[in-house]
Amino acid sequence: DRATAARAPQRPTGEVYRDLRAGAESGWDFSSRWLDDGRELASIRTTAIVPVDLNALLYHLERTIAKACASSALKACEQGYGARAEKRRQAIEDHLWHPAGYYADYDWQRRRPIERINAASLFPLFTGLASAERAGRTADSVAAQLLRPGGLATTTRASGQQWDEPNGWAPLQWVAVQGLRAYGRDALAEDIGRRFLAQVQQVYDREGKLVEKYDISGNQGGGGGGEYPLQDGFGWSNGVTLQLLRLYGPGAGR
């Protein structure tokens, strides 16, 4: 962190530390998604960005709490969290929609949507808040810009960070598949799922293991980049692969 802050002498050190912590807390540690220039970690400004995935998940949480309150006959609680969810849904539609046709992060300091699409665009479909029209446009944008030989790309930038091109991550494949299926885009969902399964199988056949992330550009290997070596395992790769096999593997649907 000190070395990163030293490469941004024009910024207060504490500001750089804060944005690095926020980037790590986001789970996308690190990604061009948070970088002002899309390349250099010292340009990170995570706390200036309103993330579409976080807000979609908070919407889902508020809806879930409202339903739990309803099941316990807690009317005020149900209405309160229901109102919060609806207010957040409307804010997402007002501010986290890019006119090019996809859900996008928002730069609240500059008061404009982030121009680059990324896999988080599908979270409003995954949590069921998207309108049918916007879900369809988002699906089309994702198919045009994020589909790769091995599944769904995380972003469209190859920055050297691990949550970027050419890496594909299992949980993002699952969000995409489930979100697209929920809005009737079954063919695209299956295409993404089958591509990712083929990628996982190729690495497994060669190395006898599943890994944390995959290079989905067509190189048929595990992913790279970031601050540590590629990890074996991996919980989310194992779980998502199992679920995708149930959907699209041999004997699926029987």
| Catalytic positions, written as ranges | 29, 212
* Angle, alpha carbons 52-229-244 (nearest 5°): 55
The length of the chain, given as a count of residues: 254
d(CA 148, CA 165): 10
d(CA 161, CA 214): 13
Which residues fall within 8 angstroms of residue 219, CB to CB, at 6 or more apart? 166
Quick check: 150 and 216 in contact, CB under 8 A? yes
Please report the sign of the dihedral spanned by the C-alpha atoms of residue 179, residue 182, residue 186, residue 190.
positive
Q: What type of residue sits at position 56?
A: A
Residue reference for tokens 């006119």: 99
Q: What type of residue sits at position 142?
A: V
* Angle, alpha carbons 89-110-113 (nearest 5°): 45
Which residues fall within 8 angstroms of residue 174, CB to CB, at 6 or more apart? 240, 243, 244
* Collapsed DSSP state (helix, strand, coil) of residue 11: coil
Please report the sign of the dihedral spanned by the C-alpha atoms of residue 230, residue 233, residue 234, residue 240.
positive
